[in-house]
Chain A
Amino acid sequence: MELFFLSIINGLIQGGFFALFAVGLVLIFGVMGVVNFAHGELVMVGAYTIWLVHAQHGVAYIPTLILAILVVTGVGLLMERFLFRPTRNDPLAGLICSIGVLFILQVIATLVGGEGPSKQVPPPFHGTLVLFEFLRIPYQRLFGLGISVLALATLWYFLTRTRLGWALRAVALDREAAALQGINITRISVIAIGVGAALAGLAGGLMAPLTNINPHMGHNVIITAFIVTIVGGVGSLSGAVYAAVLYALFHTFVTVYFGGTVATICGLILMVVVLIVRPTGIMGVRVSE
C-alpha cells in the first residue's frame, strides 16, 4: 500500500518534469515546424549547470536554477538564429541540424564533467513532509512539483491571456495567415524557442538533484518527450500536459513492478498504437499538413 501511494506521488512529480520538456518540444514544433532532436540535450545542459555551479562551486541552488534557465535559453536562441532560421523552409533540415547540436552538446558536457560515472547532486532541500504514516514526500520532490505546476500555469496564462501568447498560437495554427495579420514570424519563433528552451533548462535544473547526470541522459528525455507529444497530440499543449502526467504514472507503475526497460517498451508500443488509432493524439485536432 505504501508503495502504491509512493508510486502515485512519484508519478505525479515525474509528470511535472515530463510536461515541462514535452511542452517545450510541442511549442517549438508548433511554431517553427522543427522537431528539436536536441531537446533532451537542453535538459542535460540545465542539469550540468546545476552540477557545475551548485554542487562543484557551492553557489546556492535557487540562483543556480535561474542561471541554468538562462544558459539553456541562450543555447536555444543560438540554435534558432544560426540553424533554424536559415533552414526555415525545410523542416527536415532543421531536424538534422538539431541532431548535429545534440552531438556537440554531448561532447561539451563530456569535456566539462569528464568521463566516468554519472554525477550526483546532493538535494539542496532536506527533510521529508509526513502527510500520513504511509505517505512521506521529500521536500526536494515537493519543490520540483510546485515549480513545475507554477511554470506550466504561467505558460498557460501567457498563451491564453496575453496578446503575445495569442500571436504565438496564431502562428502555430497558420503561419501565413498570421504573417498577413502583421505578426512578426521571426520574433514569434524566437519567443517560442526561448520559452521552450527555458522550460527544458528548468526541467533539467529541477531534475538534477533527483537523477543521474551524464552526457547521454538526453536520450531518455527525448524518447519520453516523443511519446508524450504523440500521445497528447502533436501541437496540443494541454494534450502534452495530460499525456505527460498519465504517461509518468504509467511509467512509474510499470517500472516499479516490471522494470524500467519494459516500461519504456510499453510506452513506445503505446505511442505506435496511438499513431495508428488516433494520429492526432488524445487532445489533438486535425490540422492541415
Chain B
Amino acid sequence: MKENWPKIVGFLLLLAAVLAVPHFLQFHHQDLLIFLVINVLVVTSYRLVTLTGEWSLIHAVMMGVGGYTATLLFRGFELGMWFTLPLAGLVAAAIAALLCFPLFRMTQFYFLIGSFAAGEAIRLCWIEFIIPFGGTGGLSGVEPPFVFDIDFLEPIPYYYLTLAIVGLCLLILYRIENSRIGLTLHSVHWKAPLAESVGVDTWRYRALAFIVGSFFVGVAGGLKVHYLGTINPNQFGIGFMVFILIWVIVGGYNRFYGPILGVVVLTLFDESIRQFEEFRPAIYGAVLILSILFLPKGLESIPARLRSWAGGGSDREKGKLTDG
C-alpha cells in the first residue's frame, strides 16, 4: 500500500491540472483542448485494436461512422446526445462486426490494405450518396445537449462533459486490457500458434478487439460531431488516419499511456508550429520518420532508455513494429 502513495498523489495532481486547465486558456485553445480529449479516446481505442498485432487503417472511418450515426439520429429523430453517443458506438461496432468476416481472413499486409480499402469504400459512399449523407459538403446542425441551466455549447461545460465520458471510456479500456481478455489479446499478438494450441480462438479475439475498439472510436466520433456541429467525409480520410498512426507511434504503443502521451505532446507541438501552416504536414512527416528511425518505441520509452543509459548500458531492446 505504501508504494502506491506517489502514484495516487501524482494521479490527483494530474486530475487537478486537467480540471483546471481550460480556465487558463483562450477560447480557441479551449476548442483544441476538447478535440485533444476526444483524440485521446481515438488513440486509446486504436491501441486496443493494435494489441493483437494488426494495424488497421479503418479506424478514422469508424469514427466517421459514429459521427454520421449521431448526426443522422439527431437530425432525423431529434434524439439527444445521451442516446446518440451509445448508438454511435453500437453502429460502429456493428459495422466492424460485419467487416470482421472479410477482413480477418487476412493478416499483416493484406489486412492493412483490406482495411484501407473497406474504409475508403465507406467514405466514398458518404460522398456519393448525397441523401442521406450530404455528399462532400457533409451535414450540419448537430447541437450539444442543454441540461438544466448548463449550456453545453460553451466550451468549458462541454470540456467537462467530454472529460467525464472519455474518462469513463478510458477506465473501461484500461480494465479490458488488464483483464484476462487483454492478456489473451497480447498472447494472440506475440505467440499466436501457442495461444491457438491452448484453445484460444485467435480469430474471435482479433474480431473482439476490433469491434470493441470501433465502439469506442464511434463514441469519440459522436462526441466530436456534437461539439463541432458539422460533419463531412474529409474529416475521416486517410489524412486523419495517418495522424492517429503518428500519435500512436510517436507516443509508443507498448504501454497504455504511450498513445495518450503521443497525442498530447504532438498537439502541443502542433500549436507551437502554427505559424508555419503550409509546412505542417512536412514537419509531421519528418517527425514520423525521425521517431521511427531513432525512437522506435516512442516517447514512453525515454525514461527506460535514460535509466539503462545511466545504469551502465544494459542491452537496449531494439524496437520493432511487427514480428515476422
- A272 near B117 with CB under 8 A, answer yes
CA distance A106 to B289 in the complex (A): 15
Q: A247 to chain B: closest CB distance in Å?
A: 13
Interface set, chain A 93-114, CB cutoff 8 A to B: 93, 95-97, 99-104, 106-108, 110-111
B67 proximity list for chain A (CB < 8 A): none
Contact at B117–A96, with CB atoms within 8 Å? no
By the criterion of a CB under 8 Å from any partner CB, how many residues of chain A are at the interface?
A: 44
**Contacts A96-B245, A279-B105, A279-B106 known; A268 to B124 CB distance under 8 Å?**
yes
B36 within 8 A of A: no
- Say whether A238 faces chain B, with CB atoms less than 8 Å apart: no
Known interface pairs A268-B120, A272-B121; A110-B278 also in contact (CB < 8 Å):
yes
Report Cα–Cα, A104/B284, bound state, in Å. 8
CA distance A96 to B106 in the complex (A): 20
Q: Which residues of A contact B321 (CB under 8 A)?
A: 90, 92-93, 96
A151 at the interface (CB under 8 A from B): no
Stretch binding the partner chain, chosen from A117-125, A130-138, A187-195, A226-234: A226-234
Q: Does A289 count as interface, using CB distance less than 8 angstroms? A: yes
Tell me which of A7-15, A161-169, A257-265 binds B.
Answer: A257-265
**Interface flag for B118 (CB, 8 Å):** yes
Smallest CB separation, B138 vs chain A (Å): 15
> Is the beta-carbon distance between A87 and B114 smaller than 8 angstroms?
no
The smallest beta-carbon distance between B95 and chain A, in angstroms, is 14
Q: Is B274 an interface residue (CB 8 A)?
A: no
CA of A91 to CA of B322, assembled, Å:
8
CB within 8 A of A226: which of B113, B249, B296, B322?
B113
The answer to whether the Cβ of B229 comes within 8 Å of any Cβ in the partner chain is no
Q: Which of A83, A90, A103, A269 contacts B281 (CB 8 A)?
A: A103
A289 touches B289 (CB 8 A): no
Contacts of A262 in B (CB 8 A): 128
Extra contacts besides A99-B245, A99-B288, A272-B118 (8): CB < 8 Å: A96-B245, A100-B285, A100-B289, A104-B282, A110-B278, A230-B117, A234-B109, A262-B128
Contact of A101 among B113, B238, B289 (CB under 8 A): B289
Give every chain B residue within 8 A of A83 (Cβ-Cβ). 289, 293
Nearest A residue to B102 by beta-carbon distance? Answer: A276
Binding site of B, secondary structure by majority: helix, strand, loop or mixed?
A: helix
Contact B108 A289 (CB under 8 A): yes
A276 to B282, CA, bound (A): 36
Which A residues are CB-close (under 8 A) to B273?
Answer: none
Residues on A with C-beta less than 8 A from B128 are 259, 261-262, 265
Q: Which residue of B127, B242, B322 is within 8 Å of A92 (Cβ)?
A: B322
B residues less than 8 Å from A103 (CB atoms): 242, 281-282, 284-285, 288
Instruction: Confirm or deny: B125 has a beta carbon within 8 angstroms of a beta carbon on chain A.
Output: yes
B279 within 8 A of A: yes
15 contacts between A and B (CB under 8 A): A29-B109, A93-B292, A93-B321, A99-B242, A103-B284, A103-B285, A103-B288, A106-B282, A107-B281, A223-B120, A226-B117, A230-B110, A234-B109, A261-B124, A265-B121
Asked if A275 CB lies within 8 Å of chain B CBs, one says yes
Q: Which residues of A contact B (CB under 8 A)?
A: 29, 35, 83, 86-87, 89-93, 95-97, 99-104, 106-108, 110-111, 115, 219, 223, 226-227, 230, 234, 259, 261-262, 264-265, 268-269, 271-272, 275-276, 279, 289
Interface presence of B55 (CB below 8 A): yes
CA distance A100 to B224 in the complex (A): 26
The residue from B121, B124, B282 contacting A107, defined by CB atoms under 8 A apart: B282
- The A-contacting residues of B in range 100-152, CB under 8 angstroms, are 102, 105-110, 112-114, 116-118, 120-121, 124-125, 127-128
CB of A95, distance to nearest CB on chain B (Å): 8
A276 CB contacts on chain B under 8 angstroms? 102, 105
Interface digits, B270-282 against A, CB 8 Å rule (1 contact, 0 not)? 0000000011011
Q: Give Cα A234–Cα B112 distance, bound, in whole angstroms.
A: 13
A86 touches B288 (CB 8 A): no
Within 8 A of A (CB), among B9-66: 55
Chain B residues positioned under 8 Å from A230 (CB to CB)? 110, 113, 117
Inter-subunit contact A271/B117 (CB<8 Å): yes
Asked, given contacts A35-B112, A106-B281, A223-B120, whether A275 binds B286 with beta carbons under 8 Å apart, the answer is no
